[in-house]
A and B are shown apart, each in its own frame.
Chain A
Amino acid sequence: MDKILPLQVHVKMADEAVCVGPAPTSKSYLNMDAIMEVIKKTRAQAVHPGYGFLSENKEFARRLELDGITFIGPDTHAIQAMGDKIESKLLAKNAKVNTIPGFDGVVKDADEAVRIAREIGYPVMIKASAGGGGKGMRIAWDDEETREGFRFSSQEAASSFGDDRLLIEKFIDNPRHIEIQVLGDKHGNALWLNERECSIQRRNQKVVEEAPSTFLDPETRRAMGEQAVALAKAVKYSSAGTVEFLVDSKKNFYFLEMNTRLQVEHPVTECITGLDLVQEMIRVAKGYPLRHKQADIPINGWAVECRVYAEDPYKSFGLPSIGKLSQYREPLDVPNVRVDSGIQQGSDISIYYDPMISKLVTYGSNRAEALQRMEEALDNYIIRGVTHNIALLREVIIHPRFVQGDISTKFLPEVYPDGFKGHKLTDLEKRELLATAASLYVSCFVSQQVEVDGTKLNVTSEWNLASPLLPVTVDGTPRTMQCLSRDAAGNISIQFLGTVYKLRILTQLAAELSKYMPEKVEEDTTSILRSPMPGAVVAVSVKPGDMVSEGQEICVIEAMKMQNSLIAAKTGKVKIVHCKAGETVGEGDLLVELE
């Protein structure tokens, strides 16, 4: 608990900062003893738990209560009631909140899981009783998947929450995920602060959120809001909280769970209601009554939030990546942009925490305006040194289905059934890109005329090669591109419309002679298995000499608290195993070789 130098953003911003422990969360942000010690030392009167970590931990809230410290959140009773999925469902039922058909109890083993799943009818969702945020959650469409899901979920649940109890419920196919923000005080008052549409998800984790939702009419909104408030009142909820609903295509909604903390996506609610949720939380924690009436809660304009992650969107819509942010600049000069982040140029994105870089929020008087600003903000966001998901975010927000509001939690797999492949350039965009790249290669005149396949284009730019942003005007259309790299051999990579394109600019002579250059042989990747991300090896399921069939699990890598099963790309015999359980591996590290 030494004094620390104010090098990180969160430390710099704080008036007083104390180190609670080393990077692994179990030794710091999850270490209640260390945190209690700091509270004592600094004589803090209240604790805001943020989100994640101990924010929904009733034990932590209880310890604070014992020491007379205010927990800025609901009381332990509400945390406990809502934290347990089984109990929360019963409570919701009693409060006349619509709930999903399912099994109200803890599942003992895989056989029982299969029996219950059959009873409810496939598809079913297996999830951790103590879970949240998509961890320990699996969907099963048949008996086999149920068994497999049971095994994975209980492992993940045990490692993420220290509690491997699972439950099973009916899986609502193609639903939307819409949640209601509620705010209660210690005097029995509670409000609903409208909804957030959080349907764009990958692996049950949210990617793009907005408020309000294009799908809700005022009646449905009120019905959901009132049920949410009824539930909040039933547990004497006295803080900001979120009641999550699944909404089917007929606007039937079902209670999913209640998050007894501030949500990551709370800024969109703040944007449209004008309330500062954290401030309200502190007020009600102090014991003040709410200062608003339900009728005071407006919907002003529209807000969209993109979660900017350090992940590779081309691998299952986002596998974590790590690294140092060699260059980093938030697009704060774009109007009506809010960026919530805790990092800066030079920061490390490490394997210890969630790989989120920032929450990028834009707002406008209507949805089109908010989305337009989001495009601009994403184009002007400079992130170098780590792989990021801006390409995916930008594609989502301009996709016709998204623009029309025709979305569900299945959006990504439906729109990109073969995985995300980046932006597909139109002929015009392609010409713009080529003309810009060629002009950049020469980059000596402010305005240049380029002929691409017979079409002449005028390219104008300052060509400031020191700036990571490349604002150009091609035939009158202003575009913000980013030049990520260029080398002497004419290789240029440009980020355009979110996606990175690799181009090679050659003189005519060099282009003609290129045909003589030998093709370099790529290594055959089907017989080797490399780690797709940095993480820890949890289990290795094969040993040298084993026969594996295509698709069989070879090992499990845990990264960012997610377990990822790596499978064989072909049928064959295991030649060498390069890893063992417990080891940490880097992205691209060789794990297993097949013959």
Chain B
Amino acid sequence: MAALRLAWRRWAPRTPHLRLCLCRAGSTARSPSVPERIQEKRRAALLGGGQSRIDAQHQRGKLTARERVLLLLDPDSFVEYDMFVEHRCSDFGMEADKNKYPGDSVVTGQGRINGRLAYVFSQDFTVFGGSLSGAHAQKICKIMDQAAMVGAPVIGLNDSGGARIQEGVESLAGYADIFLRNVLCSGVVPQISLIMGPCAGGAVYSPALTDFTFMVKDTSYLFITGPDVVKSVTNEDVTQEQLGGSKTHTAVSGVAHKAFENDIDALLNLRDFFNYLPLSNRDPAPVRECHDPSNRLVPELDTIVPMESTKAYDMLDIIHAIVDEREFFEIMPSYARNIVVGFARMNGRTIGIVGNQPKVASGCLDINSSVKGARFVRFCDAFNIPLITFVDVPGFLPGTAQEYGGIIRHGAKLLFAFAEATVPKITIITRKAYGGAYDVMSSKHLRGDVNYAWPTAEVAVMGAKGAVQIIFRGKGAHAEAEYIDKFANPFPAAIRGFVDDLIQPATTRLRICRDLEVLASKVQANPWKKHANIPL
């Protein structure tokens, strides 16, 4: 591989490292001076659990807590807190000097990501397996408190064996202290968890409370109880990977939002993801310099929706074609794939996109897709990110599995989320908008600011065949054509003002960019309340 050196000046002003002051106080056999002890402690802290454990960490294909922080943050921007904190446990021989590590099992501090402030904690697996002591929890709480105060996101890099068993209830208390702050910070500053090793037992609830949970493929696990306990309790044979690996959580459980190949990939992607987020709920969505003309026409959209309404197409094609530079950071790409959610930019400004995916299960709404969509919409609303919704939905998925699972309750979440959202909301109906699902998908009735329909749109209670069967009890085959003529088009919605305009698909980007400009000054408030009662 060729070595590259760049004139590297992209990053924001450097925050200098704390400079070490090396003062030698004579060479007689005295106990070390304070400056010497400081230096020694710092050196020890930098080594974490020692070279052999660092090597073992590398052998597992994982980076150390400090390497991760350095990769995540801009060069020379990391400011570390609490390097001298040590655990306070005096049981089971823990009080011995050899069992004390400066900084204990977590590295905390703040720094910059592309020049923007972020607080970060990185659990150190080389120190007691990254286990959570009272001191460890206290360090995390300290940065969370400050992050909430100054208004900057918190990023957690999780790699921990769980509670510090030697500390007993103090460790549990530590978890709860973190949970409380996760909850209090929720909707105040973005919170992101990146699982980079084990995360088991009570520890899982902190990532679960954060806004986004990402995982590293093959080296990270999330579960309430590990395979051994599962075996002894339920007699079920399961591997770590099957029980709580990245595949399980990104595709089956929906606990994690995305998985990355390895530590480096994950951290670099996290930097990219961070660029989309505002720093806090008081911050507007960030705007980046944009080379992609906001008035760019997208001619291929004119032909993207197939003539046959039964034929699928890929909603991602529409999204990629419309957004700036085809860049779309998809959230939960492998879970509930019948709905697509993620971040992109329009004319440089971050937006959240929600779209039905006709390619998967016809883009219907079911329990999983409703919950996935609802959580995303609420994040965007909490952090001032405008919502763009692309609608091609044949309705809610029928059947006992869905009804028994509570589709009514879960579908209501998406409805609730769209209805309460006060950020700019722009909706484009590309094809089907049938039944209750039409209402749910950011319709005009739920305070959609600008609602468009493409010429291919059909806004109706249901498809023509079913409708005619109900209206004429099976006797009106001739009426199907009439129904199609009446309802399988965008006019019924347009003449009532339920869509603001019927637009040529090629102009969609231009229209959205223009509307976002106008809606940037939108002010809308919900009635005063302690908090709403979303149907959980």
Query: What residue in chain A is nearest B67 (Cβ atoms)?
Result: A513
Task: Tell me if A434 is interfacial: C-beta within 8 Å of chain B.
Answer: yes
A interface: dominant SS = loop
Interface digits, B1-14 against A, CB 8 Å rule (1 contact, 0 not)? 11111111110000
Interfacial chain A residues near B218, Cβ < 8 Å = 518, 520
CB atoms of B10 and A444 under 8 A apart: yes
CB atoms of A467 and B291 under 8 A apart: yes
Stretch at the interface among A305-313, A357-365, A448-456: A448-456
From known contacts A7-B303, A450-B5, infer whether A516 and B268 are also in contact, taking CB-CB under 8 Å: no
From known contacts A442-B8, A450-B4, A489-B265, infer whether A345 and B317 are also in contact, taking CB-CB under 8 Å: no
Interfacial chain B residues near A513, Cβ < 8 Å = 63, 67, 71, 263-264
A313 to B360, CA, bound (A): 32
Interfacial chain A residues near B263, Cβ < 8 Å = 513, 516-517
Q: B residues 209-229 with Cβ under 8 Å of A?
A: 218-219
Interfacial chain B residues near A465, Cβ < 8 Å = 291-292, 325
CB atoms of A510 and B6 under 8 A apart: no
A452 to B265, CA, bound (A): 24
CB atoms of A488 and B269 under 8 A apart: yes
A439 to B300, CA, bound (A): 31
Task: Tell me if A567 is interfacial: C-beta within 8 Å of chain B.
Answer: no
CB atoms of A516 and B58 under 8 A apart: yes
CB atoms of B4 and A452 under 8 A apart: yes
Whole-angstrom distance between the Cβ of A458 and the nearest chain B Cβ: 11
CB atoms of B291 and A510 under 8 A apart: no
Task: Tell me if B201 is interfacial: C-beta within 8 Å of chain A.
Answer: no
A539 to B342, CA, bound (A): 44
CB atoms of B300 and A442 under 8 A apart: no
Q: B residues 263-295 with Cβ under 8 Å of A?
A: 263-265, 268-269, 271-273, 290-293
Q: Which of A5, A345, A450, A452 contacts B300 (CB 8 A)?
A: A345
Q: Which of B58, B219, B299 contacts A345 (CB 8 A)?
A: B299
Interfacial chain B residues near A445, Cβ < 8 Å = 7, 9
CB atoms of B6 and A448 under 8 A apart: yes
Query: What residue in chain A is nearest B264 (Cβ atoms)?
Result: A510
Interface digits, A494-514 against B, CB 8 Å rule (1 contact, 0 not)? 000000000001110111011
From known contacts A466-B291, A466-B324, infer whether A488 and B272 are also in contact, taking CB-CB under 8 Å: yes
Task: Tell me if A386 is interfacial: C-beta within 8 Å of chain B.
Answer: no
CB atoms of A7 and B302 under 8 A apart: yes
Task: Tell me if A344 is interfacial: C-beta within 8 Å of chain B.
Answer: yes
Whole-angstrom distance between the Cβ of B152 and the nearest chain A Cβ: 20
A347 to B262, CA, bound (A): 37
Task: Tell me if A346 is interfacial: C-beta within 8 Å of chain B.
Answer: yes
Give the A-B pair count, Cβ closer than 8 A: 109
Whole-angstrom distance between the Cβ of B502 and the nearest chain A Cβ: 16
Query: Which one of A325, A430, A434, A466 has the greatest number of beta carbons of chain B within 10 Å?
Result: A466
From known contacts A510-B71, A514-B264, A517-B264, infer whether A438 and B61 are also in contact, taking CB-CB under 8 Å: no
Task: Tell me if B321 is interfacial: C-beta within 8 Å of chain A.
Answer: yes
Interfacial chain B residues near A24, Cβ < 8 Å = none
CB atoms of A434 and B4 under 8 A apart: yes
Interfacial chain B residues near A506, Cβ < 8 Å = 264
Whole-angstrom distance between the Cβ of B39 and the nearest chain A Cβ: 24
Interfacial chain A residues near B307, Cβ < 8 Å = 5
Task: Tell me if B337 is interfacial: C-beta within 8 Å of chain A.
Answer: no
Q: How many residues of B contact A (CB 8 A)?
A: 49
A438 to B7, CA, bound (A): 10
From known contacts A346-B303, A466-B324, A516-B58, infer whether A452 and B2 are also in contact, taking CB-CB under 8 Å: yes
CB atoms of B317 and A324 under 8 A apart: yes
Task: Tell me if A249 is interfacial: C-beta within 8 Å of chain B.
Answer: no
A465 to B293, CA, bound (A): 11
A35 to B7, CA, bound (A): 65
CB atoms of A509 and B5 under 8 A apart: no
Whole-angstrom distance between the Cβ of A574 and the nearest chain B Cβ: 29
A434 to B71, CA, bound (A): 22
From known contacts A7-B302, A466-B324, A510-B71, infer whether A518 and B262 are also in contact, taking CB-CB under 8 Å: yes
Task: Tell me if A263 is interfacial: C-beta within 8 Å of chain B.
Answer: no
CB atoms of B262 and A509 under 8 A apart: no
A276 to B102, CA, bound (A): 85
CB atoms of B6 and A516 under 8 A apart: no
Interfacial chain B residues near A7, Cβ < 8 Å = 302-303
Query: What residue in chain B is nearest A346 (Cβ atoms)?
Result: B300
Task: Tell me if B70 is interfacial: C-beta within 8 Å of chain A.
Answer: yes
A465 to B323, CA, bound (A): 13
Task: Tell me if A541 is interfacial: C-beta within 8 Å of chain B.
Answer: no
Interfacial chain A residues near B262, Cβ < 8 Å = 517-518
Interface digits, A1-17 against B, CB 8 Å rule (1 contact, 0 not)? 00001010000000000
Apart from A466-B325, A488-B272, 7 more pairs, CB < 8 Å: A346-B300, A438-B6, A466-B290, A488-B271, A507-B75, A518-B60, A520-B261
| 10 pairs of A and B residues whose beta carbons are closest in the complex | A346-B300, A488-B272, A518-B61, A466-B292, A466-B291, A516-B58, A517-B262, A451-B5, A345-B300, A489-B268
B-binding residues in A (CB < 8 A) = 5, 7, 324-326, 344-347, 430-431, 434, 438-439, 442, 444-445, 448-453, 463-467, 487-490, 505-507, 509-511, 513-514, 516-518, 520
Task: Give 11 A-B contacts (CB < 8 Å), ordered by A residue.
Answer: A326-B321, A346-B304, A434-B2, A453-B2, A464-B291, A465-B292, A505-B4, A509-B71, A509-B75, A516-B58, A516-B63
